[in-house]
Amino acid sequence: MSGVNTLNHFNRLGEAHMVDIGEKVVTTRVALASGEIIMADSTLERIESGRMGKGDVLGVARIAAIQATKRTWELIPLAHPLLLTGVEVELTPAHDPARIVCRAEVHCVGQTGVEMEALTAVSVGLLTIYDMCKAMDRGMLLQNTGLIRKDGGKTGLWERDQASCPPSP
């Protein structure tokens, strides 16, 4: 009863359930997500110069993002635990406005996609930056988090229209 236009996390009675992926074909799955955290110029300057009091903000955020991909199934109630084959996280400082852009690409060979893992990586990476910098800048804003591309499975390749993507740094 599942398909591209159906809500497959609900059974025929409308109750939430975990989708049975046992009959799905094993394929290589890839997802790329991105988002950004807008901040004061002075906050970005301190991150770039390594003068934020809690340590290497981008290094800690990268590790947090990678860890988050492996725990997505614990955070998202109907997500499956997956054996990931690779996670790449990029955190790129940019200006006008001052921001850090996070991009996460997640890979696995399995029976379900890794979109939620990529989105979770971006979200937790950006939240970690907020946590490490909030004493200096509580006005930071997380925005534009979304899926950029996914490939694999029955639906194959999907890409977001580039006009709706956040600007690259």
Residue-wise pLDDT for 87-126, tens only, equals: 999 999 999 999 999 999 999 999 999 999 999 999 999 9
Percentage of residues in the chain having pLDDT higher than 90: 73
What is the pLDDT, as a whole number, of residue 11?
Answer: 75
161 is an active site residue = no
Q: Of the residues 41, 131, 137, 161, which is catalytic?
A: 131
CA neighbor of 106 nearest in space, from 51, 56, 67: 67
Residue 20 has pLDDT above 50, yes or no: yes
Domain spans of the chain? 27-151
Q: pTM value?
A: 0.89
Question: 27-151 domain in CATH 3.40.50.620?
Answer: no
